[in-house]
Amino acid sequence: MLSIYFYMGLQDDLRMRRWLELFERFTYIVLMAFLVVVLLFALFELGWLLFAGLFEGPLYRLTSQKLFDLFGYFLLILIGLELLETIKAYLERREFHVEIIILVAIIAIARKVILLGSATAGELIGIALIIIALCGGYYLIRRAGMPHSLPPDNHGPSPERREEP
């Protein structure tokens, strides 16, 4: 009798997990759709800023403030594309790529630096420490993903491949 209740409990547990996975997948798909809409509007805004900047005021000349605004929107679109790629990779392989997430953070900090007007010494030191930490983390992740040994052509014979005289 106890085994029947245990079996029914497992069935309910499996059914609940399946519903949760479907809900999670649905949520990621909706997030991707919303992100695509946001990216489209940001792309139109970038195009509008470029067009208005070129044809308003002095013809074919952008002020430095307009250039900074354009760079900000450009980097914002890149951040959105990287986030879209992260969500897509999770849906396809059920894993987050920490490397891509760190790259998004590096791009976001670069955007912050570009758009930074005036800052105190403490803010600059904080941003510098964040950049160093992110770049160090990216380096370590890239290094961990590399093969641990060199290809056979780049080093001497290994003990397993010694030729007998």
pLDDT means per 10 residues, the chain with 165 residues, are 57 83 91 95 90 76 79 87 86 80 87 80 89 92 64 46 46
Task: Return the amino acid letter for 140.
Answer: L
pLDDT score, position 4: 56
Where do the domains of the chain lie?
21-142
CA distance 89 to 104: 14
pLDDT score, position 82: 86
Please check whether residue 82 is in contact with residue 48, taking contact to mean a CB–CB distance below 8 angstroms.
Answer: no
pLDDT score, position 165: 44
pLDDT score, position 52: 82
pLDDT score, position 101: 85
pLDDT score, position 92: 85
Based on the number of CB atoms within 10 Å of its own CB, is 66 exposed (0-12), middle (13-18) or buried (19 or more)? middle
CA distance 83 to 101: 8
